A and B are shown apart, each in its own frame.
Chain A
Amino acid sequence: MPQNDKALLFRLREQNVEFVIIGGVCGVLHGASLVTLDLDICCRFSRENLRRIEAAVKDLHPRHRLTANKLPFELTNELCDSLKNIYLNTDLGILDCLSEVAGIGNYEQVLRQSVSHSLSYGEFRMLSLDALIAAKSAVGREKDLDAVRLFQAIKEKREQQKELF
């Protein structure tokens, strides 16, 4: 199963999905030397925005990866109103969409604690380094606390060298 984060991000941007990059890819964008096997985003769980996500991945054979029968990702209004998270397998890899982030809060709160960065294929928002540290600390698993050590070192380096991002 490939994992092409750039292609997934491009598709989300193309469909104007409202989202913030969180998790490992966010850490990589901040400079962490980690390898992460999925793309995690926090997004607005409105019907409209969920339909945009559906449009972004509809030709990628999306399936709810945590359901026993790997159910296809096919939204109804009722389902849109019930979902809190969406964990997908697609032909371009894993895309996990969360409505809230531990230690931060819901999408609006995540958005407020995000920073914007321009890549060649669009403008994207990702959690600020401080917010990423708060989120990973709140989850508290060993691997998250390991990552926090690295993020704190990067934060310290950035405070010393203001030109760094």
Chain B
Amino acid sequence: MIDAATLAQMNGEYVMPPDAGPAWRAAAEYGFDMSLVEDALRLTPEQRLEQHQRALDMVLEVKEAGERHAAK
């Protein structure tokens, strides 16, 4: 049986880390996905740049597909 808190997390609820300070809480409340920032902070700067490149490639691919579709 999955408890309600776990189910909420499965559905995307962010669990604020116990040491979250006011700026961290403010960014989360503003709408940033702070779980992504937590993940990024575990990486080296070089790994962050590589991860960004993959995300950017995907964004540009989707953008180009949209442009191709619009041109039809």
Interface of A with B (CB < 8 Å)? Answer: 1-6, 25, 28-37, 117, 119-120, 146, 149-150, 152-157, 160, 164-165
The 6 closest A-B pairs by CB, nearest first: A33-B36, A153-B27, A156-B23, A152-B23, A153-B24, A29-B45
Q: CB-CB < 8 A to A25: which residues of B?
A: 49, 52
CA of A82 to CA of B49, assembled, Å: 33
Residues of B within 8 A of A30 (CB): 45
Q: Which residues of A are found within 8 Å of B36, using beta-carbon distances?
A: 33
**Within the assembled complex, what's the spacing in Å between the Cα atoms of A155 and B26?**
13
Assess whether B56 is in contact with A150, with CB atoms less than 8 Å apart: no
Interface residue? B60 (CB, 8 A): yes
Q: A164 to B50, alpha carbons, bound, how many Å? A: 18
Binary interface profile of B, 33-72, with partner A (CB < 8 Å = 1, else 0)?
A: 1101101110111101110110111011000000000000
Chain B interface extent, by class: 20 to 34
Known contacts: A150-B32, A160-B19, A165-B45. The answer to whether A31 contacts B53 by CB under 8 A is no
B37 touches A29 (CB 8 A): no
* Given A33-B36, A164-B41: 18 more A-B contacts, CB < 8 Å: A3-B60, A5-B49, A5-B52, A5-B56, A31-B37, A31-B43, A35-B52, A119-B45, A119-B46, A146-B30, A149-B26, A150-B27, A155-B23, A156-B21, A157-B24, A157-B41, A160-B19, A160-B21
Report chain B residues within 8 Å CB of A34: 52
The answer to whether A33 and B32 touch (CB under 8 A), given A149-B27, A156-B21, A160-B21, is yes
Complex Cα distance, B49 from A149, in Å, reads 20
Set of chain B residues within 8 Å of A2, measured between Cβ atoms: 57, 60
A152 to B53, CA, bound (A): 23
B37 with A35: CB separation less than 8 A: no
Chain B residues in 8 Å Cβ range of A157? 21, 24, 37, 41
- Measured CB to CB, the closest approach of chain B to A153, in angstroms, equals 4
Residues of A within 8 A of B21 (CB): 153, 156-157, 160
Q: What's the Cα separation between A145 and B53 when bound, in Å?
A: 23
Q: How far is the CA of A119 from the CA of B32 in the complex (A)?
A: 27
